[in-house]
């Protein structure tokens, strides 16, 4: 059994709910869980989450919601409905320990080999203005206790203990032996898995930025805070992280989201025409009007400006150095 928790610092409840309810992943709402929610429809849940988040005190880098995943490995001795029912019970037990008074919406996904539930959880309890925060130690304790509960109450699921405290001596010895004899190929596979996990994290962060950005300046600020730099290579666009890793939007499955964002940015940059503005008709037919630049064009011009400023500073520095050297030579000649 695996439990993952990812925090979000923007109230993107609507985007996340739409994502976990995507038709490609969601086959049935029979096992969906509404924790401290009155609404059962999509719009109503979004409204409840957003109204509750509106009670939070404004704080820099404050968390608004959590995207969490609870996953179980497949058992050969149980039918699909029994496994789904067991996972539903596990998620309910998890929500009681993780956020008894918080809002949460859980959806069962069947798009991979292992059944798993995606959870949208508010960072604050219902009606509260303070965030419910858990330390790493507290969250690890919840994971350990939930795993022990599953191993006791759902033996038919045949889940293997992940946490040292829940493992038998034989399991610990087997795990240590496996770690000691990992082949080079195994290490490479682990690295590939880590890279895949990192790409998933990048995809989620960029998806949130594309959904949240309201104008070019806001988009630039969000990218900078997340540690990304926009890059353009021909017709391809992507982001570079702080470590220099490049991620092309198309390969992350964000091509359509990027194009939609670019259209919004271009639209936001169009000047609003008022009665006090001078139009091309007022100035004559020889005045040309230009279309607003796209975000890519802005990025290119920004880079060119930086290069030109750097060249100007370097030329000025070289000119001062030459003048200093010339004065020194003249002074030496007068002394001689």
Contacts 24+ apart (CB under 8 A), 230-235: 230/295, 230/299, 232/296, 232/299, 232/300
List, in sequence order, every beta strand (DSSP E) within the chain. Answer: 2-8, 33-35, 65-71, 102-109, 116-125, 229-233, 236-240, 246-248
193 in a structural domain: no
Quote the domain boundaries for residue 255. Answer: 204-268
Residue 261 belongs to what H/E stretch?
helix 255-268
Residue with tokens 């330390």: 135
Residue 147 burial class via C-beta count within 10 angstroms: exposed 0-12, middle 13-18, buried 19 and up: buried
Q: Which of the residue ranges 65-79, 143-157, 171-185 would you say has the lowest mean pLDDT?
A: 171-185
Token digits of residue 56: 């939070």
Per-residue pLDDT band for 287 (boundaries 50, 70, 90) equals: very low
Give the end of a domain, one of 124, 150, 168: 168
- How many domains, in total, are found in the chain? 2
Q: Report which DSSP code applies to 156.
A: G
Q: Which of 110 and 315 is assigned the larger pLDDT?
A: 110
> What's the CATH number where 146 sits?
3.30.930.30
83 in a structural domain: yes
Confidence check: pLDDT of 240 > 80: yes
Token digits of residue 318: 């070289």
Q: Is the pTM of this model over 0.85?
A: no
Token digits of residue 53: 């988040």
Residue with tokens 């992943």: 25
Q: What is the pLDDT of residue 128?
A: 95
| β partners of residue 233 | 236
Contacts 24+ apart (CB under 8 A), 133-137: 133/63, 134/98
Give the end of a domain, one of 247, 268, 289: 268
Q: Quick one: 135 and 38 in the same domain?
A: yes
285 in a structural domain: no
330 in a structural domain: no
Q: Quick one: 137 and 219 in the same domain?
A: no
304 in a structural domain: no
Buried b (16+ CB within 10 A) or exposed e, 164-199: eebbeeeeeeeeeeeeeeeeeeeeeeeeeeeeeeee
Q: Quick one: 108 and 159 in the same domain?
A: yes
Q: What is the pLDDT of residue 275?
A: 40
Q: Which of the residue ranges 63-77, 176-190, 245-259, 269-283 would you say has the lowest mean pLDDT?
A: 269-283
Q: Quick one: 9 and 158 in the same domain?
A: yes
- Distance (Å, whole) CA 7 – CA 99: 14
Per-residue pLDDT band for 196 (boundaries 50, 70, 90) equals: low
Residue with tokens 């994290």: 201
Residues 40-90: pLDDT tens digits? Answer: 999 999 999 999 999 999 888 899 999 999 999 888 888 899 999 999 999
Q: Quick one: 152 and 222 in the same domain?
A: no
Q: What is the pLDDT of residue 311?
A: 65
Q: Quick one: 154 and 248 in the same domain?
A: no
Q: Quick one: 130 and 64 in the same domain?
A: yes
Give the percent of the chain with pLDDT over 90.
36
Q: Quick one: 152 and 217 in the same domain?
A: no
280 in a structural domain: no
Strands 65-71 and 116-125: antiparallel
Residue with tokens 């570079």: 240
305 in a structural domain: no
- Distance (Å, whole) CA 69 – CA 132: 18
246 in a structural domain: yes
Q: What is the pLDDT of residue 171?
A: 81
Confidence check: pLDDT of 164 > 70: yes
Nearest to 45 by CA among 96, 120, 118, 110: 120
Q: What is the pLDDT of residue 188?
A: 59
Give the end of a domain, one of 239, 268, 297: 268
The mean of the pLDDT values for the chain is 81
**From the centroid of its chain, how far is CA 147?**
27
Per-residue pLDDT band for 291 (boundaries 50, 70, 90) equals: very low
Q: Quick one: 49 and 163 in the same domain?
A: yes
Per-residue pLDDT band for 256 (boundaries 50, 70, 90) equals: confident
Q: Quick one: 160 and 12 in the same domain?
A: yes
Q: Quick one: 150 and 22 in the same domain?
A: yes
Residues 198-234: pLDDT tens digits? Answer: 788 888 888 888 888 877 778 888 888 888 888 888 8
Per-residue pLDDT band for 276 (boundaries 50, 70, 90) equals: very low
Q: Quick one: 57 and 135 in the same domain?
A: yes
Q: Which of the residue ranges 21-35, 238-252, 256-270 would you say has the lowest mean pLDDT?
A: 256-270
Buried b (16+ CB within 10 A) or exposed e, 6-35: eebbbbbbbbbbebbbeeebbeeeebbbeb
Q: What is the pLDDT of residue 284?
A: 45
């Amino acid at each position: 059994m695996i439990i993952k928790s990812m925090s979000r610092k923007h109230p993107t409840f609507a985007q996340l709910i739409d994502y976990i309810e995507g038709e490609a992943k969601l086959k049935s709402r029979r096992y969906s869980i509404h924790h401290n929610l009155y609404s059962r429809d999509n719009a109503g849940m979004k409204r409840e989450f957003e109204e509750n988040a509106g009670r939070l005190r404004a704080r820099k880098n404050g968390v608004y919601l959590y995207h969490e995943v609870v996953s179980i490995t497949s058992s050969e001795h149980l039918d699909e409905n029994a496994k789904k029912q067991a996972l539903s019970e596990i998620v309910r037990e998890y929500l009681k320990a993780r956020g008894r008074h918080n809002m949460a919406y859980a959806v069962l996904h069947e798009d991979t080999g292992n059944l798993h539930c995606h959870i949208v959880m508010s960072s604050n309890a219902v009606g509260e203005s303070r965030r419910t925060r858990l330390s790493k130690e507290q969250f690890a304790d919840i994971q350990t206790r939930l795993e022990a509960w599953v191993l006791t109450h759902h033996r038919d699921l045949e889940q293997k203990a992940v946490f040292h405290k829940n493992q038998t001596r034989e399991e610990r010895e087997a795990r240590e032996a496996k770690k000691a004899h990992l082949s080079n190929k195994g290490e490479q596979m682990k690295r590939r898995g880590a890279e895949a996990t990192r790409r998933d994290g990048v995809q989620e962060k960029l998806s949130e930025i594309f959904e949240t950005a309201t104008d070019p300046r806001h988009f630039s600020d969000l990218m900078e805070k997340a540690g990304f730099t926009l890059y353009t290579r021909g017709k391809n666009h992507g982001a570079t992280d702080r470590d220099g890793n490049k991620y092309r939007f198309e390969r992350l499955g964000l091509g359509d989201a990027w194009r939609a964002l670019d259209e919004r940015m271009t639209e936001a940059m169009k000047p609003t025409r008022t009665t006090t503005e001078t139009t091309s008709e007022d100035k004559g037919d020889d005045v040309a009007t230009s279309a607003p630049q796209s975000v890519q064009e802005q990025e290119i011009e920004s880079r060119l400006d930086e290069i030109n400023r750097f060249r100007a500073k370097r030329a000025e520095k070289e000119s001062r150095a030459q003048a200093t050297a010339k004065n020194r030579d003249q002074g030496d000649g007068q002394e001689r």
